[in-house]
Structure 1
Amino acid sequence: EISKGLDEELLEGSIRQIEFRLREISDSGHFPYNLILAERCFRSWLYGGDPLAYLAFEKNLSFIRQKKAEGCGFFADKTKELLIDNRHCLVTVVKASSEMGKKLENQTNEQAAILSRNFTETDIKKYHNLTLQLMEEQKKPNTIEALATLPKLAKSDLPAKNIEVPAVKTTIATAPAYLHRIFTSGISYIDIGFDCTTIPFDLLPYLPLYLHWASRCGAAGLSFEAMSKKIGMSTGGIYGSLLCETSATADAALVFKYFLHGKALTGRIDEMTDIVSELFASPDFTNADQLNDILFEIRNDLNSSIISSGHSFAATNAASLISLSKYLDELLDGITQLRFLDGLVKNFNADNIIEKIKSIHAILINKSRCMISITADDPESIVPIIEPLIESLAPNNAPKVAIPFTKRSIAVHGIEVNSSVNFVAKAMHCDCFTPEDLGHFLVLSKNLSTGYLWNKIRVEGGAYGGMAFVSGGHSVFSCASYRDPNLISTLRHFETGLKTIASGVSPDAVDQSIIATIGNIDSPRTPHKKGFGETVALICGRTPDFRRKVREAILNSKPKNLSEKAQRLLNTGESAIAIIGSSAAFDKARDEGLEIIQEPLIPNDHEQY
C-alpha cells in the first residue's frame, strides 16, 4: 500500500484526530487530566529535557501540517522506516482453552503438594503454627499510636458546598435542552437523547445492538467504511449510550433514554451536525456482514468482561430481582444480555435482526420525545447550528409501554464460569430517595468498603476486594467481593458487617468515611462529564437543592445515622444474592449447607463459540 501512495484523505483525518486528542481535556478513563499532563512533563524532564516539550504541541502540529502540504512522501517514508522495515518486533499468540479453568482450580493444591512433599511432621507443625500466627496478626487492629502516624484530612478541611456546574434550561425546536458553559479547550459536546419507554418489550434486548450499529452504519448513500472516514475527518467520535435510572422525584419514575453523543472542534460542529442528521434520517441497516461483525464484537466484549468485572455483573444480576431499573440494566448490559447475544450469534438470522433494528429506529428517533445537552465554551452559539437537525425529526407520540417486571425472591443464584476465584454479591432494597437517606447510605457504604469488608474479605480472606455501594439512581444497596477465594464466609461477612455497624461505630470512623465520601463526590471530572452529568442529574430529579441536602447529610452524619441505616438493611425483606464462580466452589458451598440454583454462564447448547 505504501508503494501506491498514502490516501490523502485518511492522512488528513489522522492528523485531525491527533489534534483533537491533544486538545481534549480527557481523563482517558483512568486518571485526572492534570495527572496526565504531569506524566507528559516527566517523559522529557526525567532525562534532562524541557518539561514543557510534550505540552507545547502547536509547534509540532505546525510541522506536521507543513509536511502534509508538501505531499504524503514524508509520512510514507517514515511508515516504511519505523514500521515496515523495523525488525524489532514481537508476535504474541493467546489461545483459548476450555481446560484452563479446571487447571486453575487445582493449581493451588498441586503447588502446595509439591512444596510440602519432603516435609517432616516437625515441618508441618512449624508452618501450620506460622500460618495461624500470621492469621492472628492480620486480625489485630492497628494500634492508636500507629494510626496517629498517618497523615489524614479532618472534616473541617472539606468544602461545605458542592462544585456548581452551570446549566441553562431552554428549548431547541420545542425539545428541552440544557446548555453548559464550561471551558472545553475549543471542543463542543452534543448529546441528543430519546425516550426508550415507548419501545415494545420484545424489542428491548436488541437495543444495545442498535446502539452500536446506529453510530457505525452507512448513511445517506455512503457505505459504512466511507461514513467512518467522514466521521473521523470531522469529529472526535460519535457513539451511543443508555441511561436507566429511577428518578429521585416523589413518583420514583423510570428514566430510560438512549443518547447519541458527538464531539468535535467547535469550528467543525456544523460538519458533525450534518453527519448526525444523515445517521438519523437515512441509516443503512442492510449490511448483513457488518451486522454479523458487530454482533460478534459486542458479544465477545461482554463475555470477556465477566471475569475482569465479575463483581459488577454479580451485583447487577442480584439487584435485577428487586429493582426495575436494575432489571433493565441486567437485560441490556448484564449476563441476560450476554446470553441473548450469544443466541443471536448461534442462530444468526440477518433479516429478522435487521427488521428489529429498523423498528427500534423508527420508534426511537423522533422530535416528540427528544432532548439535548450541549457542553461548550459558548453553547448558545451552537443552538442555531443544531436547531435544523431537531426540526427535521418527525414527531411520534407513541404511548409508553409497560415493562413486565415483578420483584422475585429466589435462593442463591450461582452462575458457573471457568475461574479459580469467585465474585459474590448481595443486593438489598433501600428507600434512599430522600437526600438525607441517600447521604447516610453513601457514608455507610464507604464505611463498610474501607472498614469491615476491607479487613475481613480482602486482608484476612485473601480476595482482591470487598466493597459496598449505593447509587442515587437505584433503590438498591449492594455488597460485593472481587476475585474472592471464599464464598460462604463472604456472605456471612456481608451480614456481620452490617450488624457490627448497627451495634455501634466510632465517631472517628464515621468522620473518615465522610471524608472519603466527599472525595468521591468532588473527584475531578472532564468538561463533558461535568456538563452531561449535570443534565442527567437534572432529568433524574437530583436538583442542585437535592444534592446540597445530600452533601449536608453526609457532612453531618453521626454514628447513630449509620447504625439506623445498617439496621434497616438487616430488616429488609427484599434482598437477593448472585455468585459468579466455579463448579467446585458451588459444590463446596452446598456441602456446607448453602442452597444454590446453579446454571452455566452460557446455556449448554451455546457453550462452544
Structure 2
Amino acid sequence: MSKAFTLIKEEQVSELNSTAKLYVHKRTGARLLSIINDDENKVFGINFRTTPKDSTGVAHILEHSVLGGSEKYPVKEPFVELLKGSLATYINANTFPDKTCYPIASPNLQDFYNLIDVYMDAVLHPLITEQTLMQEGWHFEINDPAEPLTYKGVVFNEMKGAYSSPEGVLETRIIESLFPKHIYSVDSGGDPRNIPDLTYADFKAFWENYYHPSNSFIFFYGNDDPDARLKLMEGYLKSYKRKKVKSTVKPAKPFKRAKKVEYSYDAGSDTDIESKNYLVVNWALPETTDPILNFSLRILGSILIGTPASPLKKALLDSGLGEDLAGLGLETELRHLIFSTGLKGTRARHAKKIERLIIDTLEALVRDGIDPDMITASVNTAEFRLRENNTGSFPRGIALMRRVLTTWIHDDEDPFKLLGFEATLNEIKARLAADPRYFERLIKTHLLENPHRTTLRLKPDPELARRLEEEESARLTKIRESLDGKQIAEMVKNTKNLKLMQETPNAPEAVATLPVLKLKDLEKENKSIPIEVTQLQDTQVLYHDLFTNGIVYLDLGFDLHAMPQEYLPLTEIFARALLEMGTETEDYVKLSQRIGKSTGGIYGDSLSTTAYGSKENVSKLFIRGKATMNQSTEMLNILKDILLTTKFDNRERLKQIVLEEKSGVESGLVPGGHIFANRRVRAQFGGSGWVNDQMSGIGYLFALRELAKDIDKKWPSVLKKLETMRDALINNRSLICNVTLDAANWAAFKPRLENFIFALPDKEVTLKPFDIKASPEKEGLTIPAQVNYVGKAANLYDLGYEFDGSADVITGYLRMAYLWEKIRVLGGAYGGFCVFDENSGVFSFLSYRDPNLDTTLENYDNAAGYLKNLDPNLFNDNELTKAIIAAIGDLDTYQLPDAKGYTSMMRHLTGKTDAMLQKKRDEILSTNGEDFISFGEVLEKAAKSEAVAVIGSQAAIEGSKAGLKVTKVL
C-alpha cells in the first residue's frame, strides 16, 4: 500500500460483493474512496465541491473548459480526442448545485489509465485562456464594424435551451424557492441573463480556488489493481500541499412558515395558455446523512407518487385539475432531501384547490392509514432494485459514486453508509413491524408538520421570450453605444481571432502527446451472446443462458402487423392500458400493488426496425417483466391476467393515461428535440421510420391530441379499437418469447412458461405489411424555444451505397471531427450528430440546442466535401486508428445480462448472424482512406435530399431560406 495515503476505514459491502476502503492523502487531505470488486466496467471520478455565489454559470462553464486543453496535453479539446478513439463506456463531466464531477468508465485497463491521465491533467493543469471562456461560456460576436453585437457561446446557448423547457425552469425555481440566500438559490448551470456578467478574472479565480486536491473527492470502482490506484494518484498529488478551501455547504436555515411563490416560463406565441400552468408543493427535508431516514423517505416517495396506485398521485390525477404530475418527486442528490409534487396542465384558478388537495390527501393518509398492500409493494420494489443493481447502460460504479457523494461531499465521516442496504432495509422492516403506522408518522413529521415548504406556481407567459430578446438586444445596444471605434475594432479582431483558433487544426506533435490504444489492443473476434431458438406450443422462444443472479428477464413480443396499420399510434396507450386499467378481478390500484409486491416491474415497450438486407419492417409490442425465480410463477399469472382480462371500459382512467402521455411528449420536445427531429425526418422515408414517429414521435403527439378528443366524443369507437387490438395481438402463434436466465433456473422456469403460453389464444393469424410511401419534404415544426434542433436525412441504399463496416468508423469520425467543429465550436450549438441505420439505410444529420438553422443545413451539405478532401496524412497517423478504436468500442459496448439478452433477440429479429457481425468487425478493423472518399461521394448525393425536419422557434423557422413547410407543434 502507498505510504502517501492513510487508510481511514475499510468495510466489506456484501450486497455489492465489494470491499470499500477510504483513504486520505497525507500531504493534501484529498479523500479517496476505493471500491474493489470483479466488475470489468472500471470507473474513476475526481470530484470537487464547488459553491458558486451567483448565476453566471461559472461552475458549468469551467466544467466544459478544463477539458479544453492542459499542460501535458496542449490540444484544443483532449475530451474530443478521447471520444474519437477510446473504448470508454462513459466519458463526461457534470455540474451540480454543490459539486462538479469528472467521471469516466472503461472495461479496458490501458484505456482506463489513459483516460485517468488526461482527466487528472485537465482538472489540475488546464489551459483556460480568455478564448476558452469565449468559446465555452460567452463572448461578443461581431464580424464587421457595421454589424450589431450578439452573444455566442456553447454554455450560453445550452442554457437558453434549458430555460426554454418549462420542466427545466420548474426544477431550478423549486430549489431556488426552498433555499433562499443559500448556495442552492443560484443556478450553477447559468442563467442566460447572467452568464455575460462572468469575467475572465472570476472564471480563473473559481478554478484556482476550488480545483485543488485539498477540495477533491476521488473515487475508484472495479477490478483494476487497488494498490495501483494509490500509486497512480500519488503521482498526480505529490507536488501539492494542503490548502484551506472555503467550500462548505451549510445546512439550510428552516422556514418558520410556508411560503407561496410565482414564476413565469416562455409559452411561445400560444394564445391558449389558460390551462398551461404548473402548481407544485415542495418540502425541504432533513439531510441525506441518516441512511434509515434516507431510504425510508425514498420508499415513502414511491408510496405517495411512484405508481399509478400511489394514493397522492391517484388523488391528483383523479381530480381532473391537471394533465400529469409535476415536480421533482424525491430529490436525493443535494445536502437536503426534497419532496416535490403537483400538477401541470392546470388552470390558474385551481391553484388553491390543488394545494389543498395535496395537504388533505396527506392528512387523510395519516388519519385513515396507508393501504398495507401499497407499503408492501413499495418496500419490495425498493429492495428488488437495490439487489438487482441494474443501471442499464449507465455504469454501476458512477451510479454508486453519485449516491456516496450525497453525504461524502459534505464531510460525512462514514461515506459507506449509503453503499450497503441490508442492515438499513432490515431496520426499516423491523420498525414497520413494530409500528405499522411508521410511514404515516413520516408523513406527519416531515410533510404536514414541516413549515419548510413552498407552494410554487409556474405560469405561462407568451410575451416572456419577446421581453427577454428585447432586454438582451437593449443591453447589447447600450454596450455598443458605449464603445468607441477602437473598441469595436478590437471586438471584431477578437471574434476573428477566436474563429481562427477554432478553425486551426491542432499541431500533430500536440495530438501525438495524447495516450492512444493500439489496434493490437482490440479484440479481433466478435463477442457472441448465447442464444437457443426453440418452440413451445406455437410460440417461438429465444433463450439466453446468462448468469442473472436468479432473476428471470422475460420479454413477450406481439406482432403489430396482425392489427390494422391505422392503430399504430394507439400502441403505447394499449400497453399502458393493459397495466394500468385493471382486470376483471382487480381494479388498477390492486393490480399495480400486486405487480409491485410480486415482481421487479412489468412495462410495455414498442419496437420498429428494418430487417437487415431487406425492406421488411419488424414491428412489435413488447410486454417486459422481471422477477426472482420464487416470484416467477406469480409474474406469469399477472401477465396472463392483464393480457386476457384487462377491462378497457374506464373512460376517465384511459383519458388520464392519454393526457399523461401527451404531456410527457410535449415536455420532452425541448430537452430532447434532436430525438424528435430524427424520428420525424426518418418518417419521411416510410417503413420503420414512419412507424416509430407514429408510436413515439411528433406523429404520436398529433394522434394523442385527437385521441383525447375522441375519448370525450367517440368513446364507443375508442373502446372498440382497444378490444380489436387485443383480439388481433394476443395470440400465441404470432408471439415471440425472449428469456434471459441461467441454465439451472431455465430448467425450472421453462415448464411454467409453457403453461402460460398454453393459456393464451391459439388462432390463425394474418400478418399484413404496412403500406407506407416515402414522402420527403422540408418540415419546420415550431415550439416555444430559443434554440433549434435541425435534422436532414437521406436513404443511402437508394443512392447506391452498399453497407460496409467502415461506415461505423466514418460516421464516428465525422461526428467528432467535422460536426463537432462546425456545429458546436464554430456554430455555438450544444451538439451535432450523424446517425446511420445500417438496417434501413437512412442516414441523418442532427443538431442540439442550436442557435442556427440555415448555416447548419449548409454545414451538413458540406460534409461530403470534407470527407472527400481529407488530408491523406490522416490515414498515416493515429487519427484513423482512433476512429477504428471508437467504432469497436461502440460495437463492444458494456451490457448487463438483461441488455445482452435483448440485443441477441434484436439480432435474431433483424437477421444478423454472428458471421455477419464478424464480417462487420473485420471491415471496421481494415477501414482505409478509400472508404472515407467513397462515403463522401454518397453523401454528395445525399446533400440533394429534400428530407428536412427542424424543431425550433417560429422566428427562426419562418425566417429560414430553406423553404420549410411550417407546422405549429406547441
On whether the aligned pair clears a TM of 0.5, the verdict is yes
2:823 partner amino acid? I
The two structures have a TM-score, normalised by structure 1, of 0.92
2:77 aligns with none
Query: How many residues matched?
Result: 596
Match of 1:456 among 812, 819, 822: 822
Tell me, yes or no, if structure 1 residue 395 matches structure 2 residue 395: no
2:902 to 532, 535, 549: 532
Provide the C-alpha distance between the structure 1 equivalents of 2:729 and 2:785, rounded to a whole number of angstroms: 40
Alignment-mate amino acid for residue 841 of structure 2: S
Name the amino acid aligned to 2:387.
R
Change (3 A) 1:137 1:234: same
In the TM superposition, residue 432 of structure 1 has moved relative to its aligned partner by 10
Corresponding letter in the other structure for 1:145: E
Contact 1:435 1:546 in 2 (8 A): no
> In the alignment, which of 736, 741, 747 is matched to residue 376 of structure 1?
741
Deviation of 1:101 after TM superposition, in Å, equals: 4.3
1:605 alignment partner in structure 2: none
* Alignment partner of 1:542 out of 899, 912, 916: 912
| Equivalent position of 1:4 in the other structure | 368
Show the counterpart of 1:447.
813
Does residue 858 of structure 2 align to residue 492 of structure 1? yes
1:568 aligns with 2:568: no
Match of 1:607 in 2: none
Displacement of 1:65 in angstroms is 2.7
Counterpart of 2:723? 358
Q: Hey, what does 1:424 align to over in structure 2? A: 790
Tell me how far apart the structure 2 counterparts of residues 526 and 464 of structure 1 sit (CA, whole Å): 30
TM-score, length basis structure 2: 0.59
1:578 is aligned with what amino acid?
A: A
Q: Is structure 2 residue 752 aligned with structure 1 residue 385?
A: yes
Aligned to 2:619: 256
More helix by share: 1
Identity of aligned residues (%): 28
Matches of 1:601 and 1:74, distance apart in 2: 47
Residue aligning to 1:206: 570
Instruction: Looking at secondary structure, tell me which structure has more strand per residue.
Output: 2
Question: 2:554 and 2:822 mapped to 1: Cα distance?
Answer: 45
AA aligned opposite 2:753: I
Matched, 1:333 2:700: no
The question of whether the paired residues in 2 share the 8 Å contact of 1:32 and 1:525 is answered with no
Greater relative contact order (Cα < 8 A, sep 6+):
1
Structure 1 pair 577–169 and aligned structure 2 pair: CA distance change class (3 A): same
- Which residue identity is paired with 2:727? A
Matching residue within 2, 7, 19 for 2:383: 19
8 Å Cα contact 1:277/1:389 also seen in 2: yes
1:476 CA drift (Å):
0.6
Choose which of 708, 720, 736 in structure 2 pairs with 1:345: 708
From the superposition, tell whether residues 317 and 44 of structure 1 become closer, same or farther in structure 2 (CA, over 3 Å).
closer
Match of 1:274 among 637, 640, 644: 637
Distance 2:667 2:897 in 1: 30
> Per-residue deviation at 1:25?
3.0
1:394 counterpart letter in structure 2 = P
CA contact (8 A) 1:449 1:468 kept: yes
- The whole-number CA distance in structure 1 between the counterparts of 2:926 and 2:664 is 43
Q: Check conservation: 2:374, 2:593, Cα contact below 8 A.
A: yes
- Measure, in 2, the Cα distance between the counterparts of 1:43 and 1:486: 38
CA positional deviation for 1:142: 1.4
1:225-264 alignment, distance < 5 Å: 225-248=589-612, 250-264=613-627
| Farther-moved stretch of structure 1 (328-337 vs 116-125) | 116-125
CA distance in 2, matches of 1:195, 1:481: 34
Could you list the runs of 5+ residues in structure 1 that have no partner in the other structure? 603-609
Contact 1:168–1:178 at 8 Å: present in 2 too?
A: yes
User: Unaligned 5+ residue runs, structure 2?
Assistant: 1-364
Matches of 2:506 and 2:456, distance apart in 1:
45
| Cα offset, 1:21, TM superposition | 1.1
* Partner SS, residue 94 of structure 1: strand
| 8 A contact 1:323–1:475 mirrored in 2 | no
What is the CA distance between 1:261 and its match in structure 2?
0.5
Q: Give yes or no for contact 2:530–2:544 (8 Å, CA) kept in 1.
A: yes
Q: Which residue number in structure 1 is paired with residue 656 of structure 2? A: 293
Q: Deviations over 1:48-93 (max 9, x none)?
A: 6455443332222222233333341444334433333233334443
Say if 1:528 and 1:106 are closer, same or farther in 2 by CA, change over 3 A: farther
* CA 448–121 in structure 1, closer or farther in 2 if over 3 Å, else same: same
Query: Which residue number in structure 2 is paired with residue 283 of structure 1?
Result: 646
Deviations 1:178-219 (A, max 9, x none): 112223233221110111112112222222221222221201
Q: CA deviation at 1:459?
A: 0.2
Q: Residue 322 of structure 1 corresponds to which residue in structure 2? A: 685
State the Cα distance separating 1:176 from its structure 2 match: 0.9
1:195 aligns with 2:563: no
Give CA-to-partner distance per residue, 1:412-456, whole Å, 9 cap, x none: 221122222111111111239999825222212101110001001
Residues 521 and 432 (structure 1 numbering): CA distance in 2 closer, same or farther, change over 3 Å?
farther
After superposition, the C-alpha distances for 1:473-524 in whole angstroms (9 at most, x for unaligned) are 4321111111111111111111212221123351233222212222222222
- Matched residue SS, 1:552: helix
Q: Secondary structure, in 3 states, of the residue corresponding to 1:420?
A: coil
Aligned equivalents of 1:489, 1:379: Cα separation in 2: 56
- SS of the equivalent of 1:517 reads helix
Cα distance in structure 2, aligned partners of 1:559 and 1:52: 51
Comparing 85-94 with 443-452, greater Cα deviation is found at 85-94
Calculate the aligned-residue CA RMSD, in Å. 2.4
Structure 1 position 460, deviation (Å): 0.5
How big is each residue's C-alpha offset from its partner over 1:537-559, in whole Å with a ceiling of 9 and x where there is no partner?
11111122221221221121112
Contact conserved, 1:245 with 1:255, CA < 8 A, in 2?
yes
Q: The residue matched to 2:670 in structure 1 has which SS?
A: helix
Distance change >3 Å, CA 68–CA 181, structure 1 → 2: farther
In the alignment, is the contact (CA less than 8 A) between 2:581 and 2:654 conserved in 1? no
Q: Any idea what SS the aligned residue of 1:451 has?
A: helix
Provide the rounded CA distance (Å) in 1 between the counterparts of 2:647 and 2:505: 63
Preserved contact between residue 195 and residue 257 of structure 1 (Cα < 8 Å): yes
C-alpha offsets along residues 557-607 of structure 1, whole Å, 9 cap, x if unaligned?
1121122122123225765111112222134323xxx322222226xxxxx
**Secondary structure, aligned partner of 2:604:** strand
Residues 131 and 256 of structure 1: CA distance in aligned 2, closer, same or farther (over 3 Å): same
Letter in 2 for 1:450: M
Return closer, same or farther for 1:117/1:236 CA change in 2, 3 Å cut-off.
farther
Question: Which of 555-564 and 89-98 deviates more?
Answer: 89-98
Task: Name the aligned partner's letter for residue 638 of structure 2.
Answer: I
420, 438, 445: which one pairs with 1:81?
Answer: 445
Change (3 A) 1:185 1:96: farther
Counterparts of residues 293-312 of structure 1 (less than 5 Å): 293-312=656-675
Q: 2:615–2:840: 8 Å Cα contact kept in structure 1?
A: no
